[in-house]
Amino acid sequence: MNTIVLVLLSTILLVCLKTYVDLRASLKAINNHPGYWSLISSFGLLGFMFQEPRRGVIGGNLRFWRKRHLDFQEAGIDVISHTSFFPNVASRLIIADTAVIKDITGNRVRFPKPSYDALRVWGANIIASEGEEWKRHRKVSAPAFSEPNNRLVWTETVKIMMDLFENLWGSREEIAVDHVVDSITLPVALFVISVAGFGRQVSWQSDLVPSPGHKLSFKDALHVISVDMWIQIFSPKFLWNSAPLKRIADVKLGYEELEQYMLEMVQERRTAEKKEECYDLFSNLLDASDSESDGSVRLTDRELLGNIFIFLLAGHETTAHTLAFAFGLLAMHQDYQEKLYQHIKSVVPDGRLPTYEEMNSLTECMAVFYETLRLFPPVQSIPKVAAEDTTLVAADHAGNKVVIPVPRGTELQLSVISVHRNPRYWDDPHAFKPERFHGNWPRDAFLPFSSGARACLGRRFFETEGIAILTMLVLRYKIELKDEPEFAHETYEERWQRLFKLKPVITIAPARLPLVFKKR
């Protein structure tokens, strides 16, 4: 027994000694740059699993939503370190300095993206690739996001909203929902991505029966994946392959069904005797790939599916959550909602439907949309990695130049939420002030679409859909908070914390946002 105890104590001592040596080496490599420590990293899979931060133990994926810019203020510089011990001893650099971020995003060779293999669900794609592979995917994917596609997005979004008003809400003067994401924004975004992304018309009442040879309808398969996409990405392979749990089995079926639908769509379009002029992303992507004379540039069918999956992930969930936050913010700020309503009426008079040509005139809508994205960006940080030994040059809050060594392999996190709440760039950064997006505003400090060459290709698609939905809804309905007596005595700050409490999904989402829509 004494021998066993001795071996156990010796092992523990050796592990502690190795951890100490690794820690000293990790900190020395970045010149002991100031920052914070935790047992478990704030980032990666563990950061996702342990969302809530615990002081000194768990970094927590939501740490920067709690701390905002405070970590950087305490360090006196907008580049800080984060040292964690599990799954291994490592020191990362977290950046909320726009000049440093421009240096990083502008140099893809020195600072590439880390591996995104988990996103290669159906095949390689533009997000999960780097270097020459990324260039090939971008060459084919970029033309898919065309002006005709944007126009299609606007037209179909207006139709979907009218279908909601006329056939679902009908003559009701008031519509109360327990969670606006589940009841409104997620279904609407799903219908838009279905028609503008896949060329498949679906609505509140349509596509209820599976097509021949299928177990799910196209709409149901799309819905399953859109809601539980994170299960496929993060679940261990042995669970996915054996599917012992019903929810995992349901998601697996959804993926199999959508894959079959898309392969059928590829085959149908390629073998059609008469080619129809289509402007949805799927058709544009297929046409762009098939028209490439260089066979090495063309996408395989698996890569076509891989890119469509990424467009679904990026274009559906983010839109639904951003609009939910926007509706919640307008319900909290009735004065600004009235200002927005009057502005929309001045652009779209006489109760007619807004047109795509009027989108650029809806400046208050865009201001609300951008302010929502500033306060609640879909992704809280953008990962990069140092491909070689290099340095970053920043200025501390006193204006002194600081050179930070960055060893090869160091993980960097561009903290979007911290940049968006940085008082160096934004006046009163925690307040809802859409007017800040009129005139000149700090564009380098606005990162919901990332920046540099890897910036979001679908930005205009996303903005077009969001502005159309926001315009249509505010023009016809007043948005209010759902009356819940147990919260009657809340302060403004307490209400904000409750309504905008976040839940752990792939992109930032409200846990529960109860609203009421009253016909104007």
Percent of the chain with pLDDT over 70: 90
pLDDT recorded at residue 279: 82
Q: What type of residue is 172?
A: R
What is the Cα–Cα distance from 219 to 212, expressed in whole angstroms?
14
Integer CA distances (angstroms), 351 to 14, 333, 442, 471, in order: 75, 24, 35, 12
What integer pLDDT is reported at residue 327 of this predicted model?
98
338 to each of 328, 346, 350, how far by Cα in Å? 14, 12, 17
Q: How far apart are CA 470 and CA 340, in angstroms?
A: 10
> Does pTM surpass 0.85?
yes
Distance CA 58, CA 37 (A): 9
Instruction: Name every residue whose Cβ is closer than 8 Å to that of residue 230 and which is 6 or more positions away in sequence.
Output: 505, 506
Average pLDDT over residues 289-308: 76
144-187 confidence digits (pLDDT tens): 888 999 999 999 999 999 999 999 999 999 999 999 998 999 88
Average confidence (pLDDT) over 179-201: 87
Running DSSP on this structure, what letter comes out for residue 315?
I
Contact 49/43 with Cβ under 8 angstroms?
no
Q: What is the pLDDT of residue 365?
A: 97
* pLDDT for the residue 487: 87
The H-or-E segment that residue 47 falls in is helix 44-49
Q: Rounded to whole angstroms, how far apart are CA atoms 285 and 304?
A: 7
pLDDT tens digits along 458-517? 889 999 999 999 999 999 999 999 998 888 888 999 999 999 988 766 778 899 999 999
Question: What is the rounded CA–CA span in Å between residue 276 and residue 175?
Answer: 40
Checking if the pLDDT of 356 tops 90, the result is yes
Q: Which two tokens stand for residue 315?
A: 């274009």
CA distance 274 to 411: 51
pLDDT score recorded for residue 48 = 55
Binding-site positions for heme read 456
pLDDT in tens, 68-124: 898 999 999 999 998 887 777 778 899 999 999 999 999 988 999 887 777 777 778
Question: Tokens for 261?
Answer: 């639908």
Separation CA 120–CA 108 (nearest Å): 21
pLDDT, averaged across the chain: 85
**According to the model, what pLDDT value does residue 360 have?**
94
Give the chain's count of helices (H) and strands (E): 21, 12
Q: Are 404 and 79 in contact (CB under 8 A)?
A: yes
Whole-angstrom Cα distance, residue 56 to residue 135? Answer: 42
Task: Indicate the pLDDT class of residue 25, thresholds 50, 70 and 90.
Answer: confident
Question: Which segments are annotated as binding site?
Answer: 456
Taking alpha carbons only, the member of 469, 422, 9 closest to residue 196 is: 469
| 38-63 pLDDT per residue, tens | 777 777 655 555 555 555 554 556 67
Helix (H, G, I), strand (E, B) or coil at 60: coil
Residue spans per domain, the chain? 2-123+383-420, 131-373+449-519
d(CA 7, CA 1): 10
Which is higher by pLDDT, 114 or 414? 414
| Cross-strand partners of 23 | none
What pLDDT is stored for residue 16 in this prediction? Answer: 75
pLDDT band at 385 (very low <50, low <70, confident <90, very high): very high
Mean predicted confidence (pLDDT) in 409-419: 93
> Confidence band (pLDDT; 50, 70, 90) for 415?
very high
Residue 400: what pLDDT? 95
The residue written with tokens 């997006």 in the block is 437
Class of domain 131-373+449-519: mainly alpha
Q: Please write the tens of the pLDDT for every residue from 233-282.
A: 666 666 666 656 777 788 888 888 888 888 888 888 777 666 666 788 88
CB 161 within 8 A of CB 472: yes
pLDDT at 59 (0 to 100): 52
Whose CA is closest to 327, among 502, 187, 474, 507?
A: 474
Least confident of 258-267, 366-375, 396-405, 482-491: 258-267
In three-state secondary structure terms, 479 is strand
Residue-level pLDDT at 65: 79
